[in-house]
Structure 1
């Protein structure tokens, strides 16, 4: 139970005299020592903290975080200048280099992206994200062997699934279906709810003549997402045994068109999925079923 006691001290005492008060129990044991100070005139519960709005970021991390905030604003189309300000403070700042590398990939400047990622890895050699996107840039630049090495080094933790997908894509481009299946088998066991690698696995199975296994893989993937045009087109290829659009089930094609409401982008995305593994006949088949193809189709 708390004890309240008021003491009246005499003499030259107080904060200016640097007075200290000691608290002891009845046995003389020291419990606490406090230095006297004047009561604060501030009311911390009511006082408004004054923060100036015109404070500008000056450090490398501050400038980078400002760039990250601007990157999330859909009205900004020139993001490079924001990240380059951070590099003006520290030319080797790896997070800014990594983001500039991603922007260079989206702009198709693959050699520039590769340079950014290599500089970022000099500072942060353990960054799996930088290694993965370095592999993406190398892959698009046509440097397959270097890209494969980058993906193998990035193939850990949160970057395992996407790295394995890229490794399988590289093998599928080379028509090495059996080697691609090794990566995709591992993916289907570890990440069964990822539908794109399961569809890629079904494609490999179809290419080596295992149509029943391919159909079973597509059926399992469609239980996760039965509206994915990539999966539905793969199911048509397997059922028809051909990429000839005329052999497709008219009912299946009509159902797919109705499902995407005749909208072009979902089917274009499926076409790009086939194009990413160099399956040109499948890509053409997807483009042919677009009801009202626009300039992209």
Structure 2
């Protein structure tokens, strides 16, 4: 039998921990497979998808900036991918490409790690890309108010519709006031700020005050970002994006193989790799 091949595609992509994480899961489950990291320009995405159709790859993960491009090239979309118009996992089904969104599973895992009480007050989401969309899907039934803050107001207004009546898009100039609200319970960074080459950047203005009761979830992983450093100094409960990475990766693994992987094995593989090299990414 030949070795099954899988890959993650994106640009940039060299920093990705997915090969280490998925490779550990394949070995632990005894599946003969290899998982590659493939840098792909936008013009070459269709060619890679043709490789999936022809059986060169059994499945793909997709990361920035190709998630929405890939969505429009699928033969079929699973429910979450259709609702969010974002695909991060491709499954080959008898030559047809089925697009899934496992970022939703990943964000659920990341949010659970914060152990927040139910029916919480205000959640602020920074960004309007694929990770922000997944966040809104999970936050919508759990928070009384959601504010989406982005540098692109028009895009943010469209994405905020996914959050329903509880969600509204606001400009960045309102962020300091939002963080000062007494019901501010959660801040989610779903932007690349804090990820190299923007590792020095913090998405929260210098004059903004992080209240100790505001939990902070920075979806960048692999380093202590400026946002996480500020949150820890303020006494906030906080977490990086590692749990989201592991959660979405495990969900993709199940879709490809119908096997439930050991999350701790996947998590440990990431932690070992992070100890070797400083890296960061958004899922």
TM-score by length of 1: 0.28
Larger fraction in helix = 1
- Which protein is bigger by CA-based radius of gyration? 1
Larger fraction in strand = 2
